Amino acid sequence: MSLKQTARIISTYTGDTSGVCSALYELGGMTVMHDASGCNSTYNTHDEPRWYDMDSLVFISALSETEAILGDDEKLIEDTVRSARELNPAFIALAGTPIPMMTGVDFEAVARQIEEECGIPAFGFDTDGMHSYTAGASKALGAIARRFVREADNKDPALSVNLLGLTPLDFSVTGTERTMKKVFEGAGIPVRASWAMGSTLEDLAASAMAHVNVVVSSAGIGAAKVLRERFGIPYVVGTPCGKRFNERLVRAVRDSARDGECRVLPVSDPAARRLVIGEGVTAASLASALTLETGIPTRAACATDGFDGLSRMQVPQATDEDDLLPLMEGAEVVIADPLYRPIVPGSARFVPLPHEGFSGRIWRRDIPDLAADLTRFIDSNGLAR
**Interface positions with other proteins (CB under 8 A):** 1, 3-18, 32, 36-42, 44-47, 51-57, 59-66, 68, 79-80, 82-83, 86-88, 97-99, 101-103, 128-132, 320, 339, 342, 359-362
Q: Are strands 191-195 and 235-237 parallel, antiparallel or unpaired?
A: unpaired
CA distance 248 to 267: 12
DSSP 205-258: HTGGG-SEEEE-SGGGHHHHHHHHHHH---EEE----SHHHHHHHHHHHHHHHH
In the bound state with other proteins, the residue whose beta carbon lies nearer, of 17 and 282, is 17
CA distance 246 to 76: 46
In the bound state with other proteins, the residue whose beta carbon lies nearer, of 33 and 166, is 33
In the bound state with other proteins, the residue whose beta carbon lies nearer, of 44 and 179, is 44
Nearest distance in Å: CB 73, other proteins: 14
Nearest distance in Å: CB 98, other proteins: 5
In the bound state with other proteins, the residue whose beta carbon lies nearer, of 62 and 327, is 62
Nearest distance in Å: CB 320, other proteins: 7
Nearest distance in Å: CB 165, other proteins: 20
Q: How far is CA 201 from CA 88, 114, 119, 149, in A?
A: 15, 20, 18, 9
Pick the closest to residue 84 from 133, 117, 129, 39 (CA basis). 117
In the bound state with other proteins, the residue whose beta carbon lies nearer, of 183 and 219, is 219
In the bound state with other proteins, the residue whose beta carbon lies nearer, of 74 and 185, is 74
In the bound state with other proteins, the residue whose beta carbon lies nearer, of 80 and 285, is 80
Nearest distance in Å: CB 163, other proteins: 21
Nearest distance in Å: CB 95, other proteins: 10
Return the axis-axis angle of helices 16-24 and 133-148, rounded to nearest 10°: 40
Nearest distance in Å: CB 194, other proteins: 16
Count how many Cα atoms sit within 13 Å of the Cα of residue 204 in the half-sphere of its side chain.
Answer: 29
Residue 189 · residue 159 · CB < 8 Å: yes
Nearest distance in Å: CB 46, other proteins: 5
In the bound state with other proteins, the residue whose beta carbon lies nearer, of 190 and 352, is 352
Pick the closest to residue 287 from 218, 155, 378, 171 (CA basis). 378
Pick the closest to residue 10 from 352, 341, 345 (CA basis). 341
The SS3 call for residue 169 is helix
Q: In angstroms, what is the C-alpha Rg of the chain? A: 21
In the bound state with other proteins, the residue whose beta carbon lies nearer, of 133 and 231, is 133
Nearest distance in Å: CB 368, other proteins: 19
Pick the closest to residue 358 from 55, 20, 18 (CA basis). 18
